[in-house]
Amino acid sequence: MASLHELIKIYEQEINNFQPSDAADLENYRIRFLGTKGIVKQLSGEMKNVAPDERKEAGQMLNSFKSLAEEKYNSYANLKQEQNNGPVIDISLPGTPIPAGTRHPLRMVEDEIVSIFEKIGFSVATGPEIEDDWHNFTSLNMPAHHPARDMQDTFYVAQNPDWVLRTHTSSVQARILETQSLPVRVICPGRVYRNETISARAHCFFHQCEGLYVDKNVSFADLKQTLYYFVTEMFGENTKVRFRPSYFPFTEPSAEMDISCTVCGGKGCNLCKHSGWVEILGCGMVHPDMLRNFNIDPEVYTGFAFGMGVERITQVKYQVNDLRLYSQNDVRFLRQFRPA
Tell me: do 191 and 281 sit in the same domain.
yes
Tell me: do 164 and 200 sit in the same domain.
yes
Tell me: do 221 and 257 sit in the same domain.
yes
- Domain boundary (85, 120, 151) is at 85
- Which DSSP letter does residue 205 get? E
**How many residues make up the chain in this entry?**
340
Residue 115 domain-assigned?
A: yes
Has residue 176 got a pLDDT over 90?
yes
Total structural domains in the chain?
2
Using DSSP's 3-state secondary structure scheme, residue 248 falls into: strand
Average pLDDT (222-228) is: 97
> What pLDDT score does 191 carry?
96
> What pLDDT score does 241 carry?
94
For the segment 22-73, what is each residue's pLDDT rounded down to a tens digit?
777 888 888 888 888 888 888 888 777 777 777 788 788 888 888 888 888 8
Has residue 127 got a pLDDT over 90?
yes
Has residue 88 got a pLDDT over 70?
no
- Domain boundary (85, 117, 147) is at 85
Tell me: do 132 and 18 sit in the same domain.
no
Residue 278 domain-assigned?
A: yes
Task: Considering only residues 320 and 55, tell me which one the structure prediction assigns the higher pLDDT.
Answer: 320
* pTM across the whole model: 0.69
10 Å Cβ neighbour count for 197?
8
Tell me: do 157 and 67 sit in the same domain.
no
Residue 305 domain-assigned?
A: yes
Has residue 84 got a pLDDT over 60?
no
Tell me: do 191 and 247 sit in the same domain.
yes
Tell me: do 300 and 246 sit in the same domain.
yes
Q: Edge-to-edge, what's the strand order for the sheet holding 160-165?
A: 130-132, 160-165, 156-157
- Domain boundary (33, 53, 85) is at 85
Report the C-alpha dihedral over residues 225, 231, 232, 237, rounded to 10 degrees. Answer: -110
What is the Cα–Cα distance from 152 to 129, expressed in whole angstroms?
16
Residue 99 domain-assigned?
A: no
DSSP assignment string, 69-104? HHHHHHHHHHHHHHHHH-SPP-TTSPPPP-------
Average pLDDT (119-139) is: 94
CA distances in angstroms from 230 to 201, 272, 280, 324, listed in the order given: 24, 20, 11, 26
For the segment 147-162, what is each residue's pLDDT rounded down to a tens digit?
767 767 888 887 777 8
Residue 48 domain-assigned?
A: yes
What is the Cα–Cα distance from 189 to 170, expressed in whole angstroms?
10
Tell me: do 115 and 67 sit in the same domain.
no
Residues spanned by the domain of 70: 2-85
> What pLDDT score does 1 carry?
46
